[in-house]
A and B are shown apart, each in its own frame.
Chain A
Amino acid sequence: MNSQFGRRLASAAFIIGFFLLWEFLCAALNISDIIVPKPSQVFVTLWERMAALWPHTIQTLYTTVVGFAFGILIGVFIGVVIGSSKLAYDVAYPLLIGFASIPKVAVVPIFVLWFGAGSVPAILTAMIMSLFPIVVNVATGLATTEPELEDVMRSLRATKLDILWNVGLPRTMPYFFASLKVAVTLAFVGTVISETVASNRGIGNVMMIASSNFDVPLVFAGLLILAAMGVGLYVIFSLIEGRVTGWAHRKDDFAMM
């Protein structure tokens, strides 16, 4: 318990130290605001323009979360299909890798062409960004189920669905949550890319306009908001993960539940 508290303290000190160092270097090296603003300036900008930034923050969070939710639904579905059949795995994987390799910035114009500028392309971009890590992890988790475990289930005359539900999916949970933590940050990347290219709302759009006005502190304020939201969602999924997959880490407090 004590060492855990100590580690948290060290982590907080590290974050504060990072900003202090940044502030110090900006002052010492006399760096212009237009290149890198001081963190103090960024925080002041953030505070003063909060009212204006707030709706954009909500917009970005909304499109990201919706896109991410679709990413999870579709990702788990594709992952289960691919992971539970050797045939599907072999057949579909090359195409999937092909899709995954496409730079997502390149598809935003296509989405805009189809759906117009605004929320829809942002949601779709967030979705396809978060899709692939989820598919790959769920499929891997299912495909690597121990054959002996399947033998036990099959000797009980368990159906494919029984095995999937009682063995495959629970076993895949640690892989799934590991992928969620990667995917949620990617979903933010997707949203911001889309907002930057084609939207008049959202943090990405704010940063785009701010940088064309050389309002660099506002650009950094946008980055800070994105980082904070990313950390927030990451923490939420880590907490759920600890609850659901404590067994994979052999946590004693999980055993007590």
Chain B
Amino acid sequence: MTLVKPSLLSHLDAFVELENATVSYGRGEKTFHALAATNLRVVQGDFVALVGPSGCGKSTILKLVTGLIKASSGQIYVSGREVGALPMRVGMAFQNPTLLPWLSVRDNVMMPLKIVPPFRQEYRAKRNNEFRDRAEALLAQVGLAGFGDKHPWQLSGGMMQRASLCRALIHDPQLLMLDEPFGALDQFTREELWSIMQDLWISRKPTVLLVTHDLKEAAYLANRICVMQSRPGRIIDDTLVPFPRPRTIEMSYLPDFVTMTQRLRELIVAARTTKEAA
């Protein structure tokens, strides 16, 4: 993947590109800068983690790239086109699994197929065979085989989050946006899901942007980690994660890994204290 230093990536390499993108709310004196001029280039199929203190604009970047919010200035390109100009397939998963309680797990997973072209046009014809099998196969891949007929409230938190990942991936998105998807889970479930997430990424290679508070999670999953600072939000550090794949939990106790997470931690702590001093 990104073996090139992020700062050396050119415009041509980038699948996702933020060019001097800023986001601010309000006017005049009360203007709140959620994101200061930010440049970020991500190559296709890469896995990038955004870490940093609360309110540093991590989620803002995700929303910009998905087109859920508009930049106050600057440009955002995906696949060489400005965001929103071209329909592209995006998958999203949040900390809250946001499954629809009135649908079975399988129907929840199939929801994007009902909305997104070109699947949309074929939904009526294929929902009972091809799409159904596709959803079941994906559920099986995350260890939820046989749970398709259940309703979300009958699943545990970790299982709901797996189903939510399936929903984010069912339509083969080019871009996968993960906003602290494992934040509300217990330690062991979280580690289990890291491994599942890694497998899904290796087998499908979508371009992933992951927002997280968990530095170990970032170092385990990502190829590249961007550290952000708040008020105004901006990227202060951009590091490649050199560990070989597939990574294991055991690797996270090795010296190199620990050194890396420690360094990230210090960066974030420093970013927090400068903010408080100011």
Binding site for B on A (CB under 8 A): 146, 148-149, 151-158, 162, 166-167, 170-171, 173, 245, 247-248, 250, 254-255
Asked if B96 is an interface residue, CB under 8 A from chain A, the answer is: yes
Binding site for A on B (CB under 8 A): 63, 66-68, 87, 90-92, 94, 96, 98, 100-102, 111-112, 114-116, 150-151, 153-154, 167, 171, 177
Cβ of B100 and Cβ of A155 under 8 Å apart?
A: no
Cβ of A155 and Cβ of B101 under 8 Å apart?
A: no
Residues of B within 8 A of A151 (CB): 63, 68, 92, 94
Cβ of B116 and Cβ of A157 under 8 Å apart?
A: yes
A148→B183 CA distance, assembly (Å):
15
Main secondary structure on chain A at its contact with chain B?
helix
A255-B101 contact, Cβ under 8 Å, with A153-B115, A156-B112: no
Cβ of A152 and Cβ of B66 under 8 Å apart?
A: no
Cβ of B112 and Cβ of A250 under 8 Å apart?
A: no
Cβ of B101 and Cβ of A248 under 8 Å apart?
A: yes
Residues of A within 8 A of B92 (CB): 151-152, 155
Residues of A within 8 A of B90 (CB): 155-156
24 contacts between A and B (CB under 8 A): A146-B96, A146-B98, A149-B98, A151-B68, A152-B98, A154-B68, A155-B66, A155-B67, A156-B115, A157-B87, A157-B116, A158-B115, A162-B115, A166-B115, A170-B102, A171-B100, A173-B102, A245-B102, A247-B101, A247-B102, A247-B153, A250-B151, A250-B153, A255-B151
Q: Which residue of B lies closest to A252 (CB)?
A: B154
Q: Which residue of A lies closest to B175 (CB)?
A: A155
Residues of A within 8 A of B101 (CB): 247-248
Q: What 7 pairs between A and B have smallest CB-CB spacing?
A: A247-B102, A156-B115, A155-B66, A155-B92, A158-B115, A247-B101, A155-B90
A167→B87 CA distance, assembly (Å):
22
Cβ of B111 and Cβ of A166 under 8 Å apart?
A: yes
A162→B98 CA distance, assembly (Å):
17
B83 to chain A, nearest CB (A): 11
Residues of B within 8 A of A158 (CB): 115
Cβ of B114 and Cβ of A255 under 8 Å apart?
A: no
A167→B114 CA distance, assembly (Å):
12
